[in-house]
């Protein structure tokens, strides 16, 4: 009896639940990553008892620690919430089971964790851009975005210069692409994801965007 599908299902289901709660409430309860870890450990034990498959303890610990380390770096940089870091670590517990890690190899686990994160960040970035575009269109801010792009004439001139250069030298296209991505990120952050709400409507998990010296709040 193979447990691979069970590991994959828990990883996908846990991620889906966490993502749904994050979108709906901007908060992921600690019970979600904790539950993923507990179920993962139970699956490893069952896999060992039923199939006599060794538990790749070194791989589990290596990937989980690496994931939570990366997660907390993003948390300290004010890019993620703490729950995101915990979710990533909990998925690290499941990874050896999802990808049939048998050998307890620190190096193999570490290299796998790096590759997995790189691919995940690429896919996540694409999804974030698509999601932001959909929200921007839904809130009818597309025209406002193009006006924002054309706001600084000097930047626009340089943009087209590098686009023209990119026609002849492809690597120059990286500059206008990065510029568009940066402007898009700044616009969506300030005009879509940041919202003014009344103090009485604040909920647990809401992030203060500005510094409030009197309350010793740094903001993000």
Interval 138-150: pLDDT, tens = 888 888 888 888 8
Residue 210 has pLDDT above 70, yes or no: no
- In this predicted structure, what is the pLDDT of residue 35? 92
Which comes out higher in pLDDT, residue 92 or 197?
A: 92
**CA–CA dist 115, 120 (Å, integer):** 8
- In this predicted structure, what is the pLDDT of residue 217? 56
Backbone angles phi, psi at 37, to 5 degrees: -60, -45
**CA–CA dist 194, 203 (Å, integer):** 15
> Is 106 in contact with 58 (CB distance < 8 Å)?
yes
Burial of 183 (0-12, 13-18, 19+ CB in 10 A): middle
**CA–CA dist 148, 187 (Å, integer):** 8
pTM of the predicted model as reported, rounded to 2 decimal places? 0.66
> Is 160 in contact with 173 (CB distance < 8 Å)?
no
Q: Average the pLDDT over 56-71 and give the result.
A: 84
């Amino acid at each position: 009896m193979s447990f691979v599908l069970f590991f994959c299902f828990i990883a996908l289901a846990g991620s889906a639940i966490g993502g749904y709660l994050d979108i709906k409430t901007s908060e992921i309860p600690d019970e979600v990553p904790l539950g993923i870890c507990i179920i993962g450990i139970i699956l490893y034990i069952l896999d060992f008892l039923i199939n006599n498959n060794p538990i790749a303890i070194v791989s589990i610990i290596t990937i989980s620690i690496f994931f939570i380390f990366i997660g907390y770096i993003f948390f300290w940089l004010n890019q993620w919430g703490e729950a995101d870091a915990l979710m990533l670590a909990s998925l690290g517990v499941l990874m050896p089971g999802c990808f049939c890690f048998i050998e307890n190899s620190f190096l193999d686990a570490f290299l796998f964790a790096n590759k997995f994160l790189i691919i995940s960040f690429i896919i996540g970035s694409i999804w974030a851009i698509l999601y932001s575009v959909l929200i921007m269109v839904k809130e009818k801010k597309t025209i406002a975005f193009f006006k924002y792009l054309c706001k600084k004439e000097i930047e626009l001139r340089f943009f087209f210069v590098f686009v023209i250069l990119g026609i002849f030298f492809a690597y120059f296209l990286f500059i206008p692409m990065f510029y568009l991505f940066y402007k898009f990120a700044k616009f969506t952050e300030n005009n879509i994801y940041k919202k003014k709400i009344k103090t009485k409507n604040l909920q647990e998990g809401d992030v203060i965007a500005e510094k409030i010296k009197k309350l010793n709040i740094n903001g993000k």
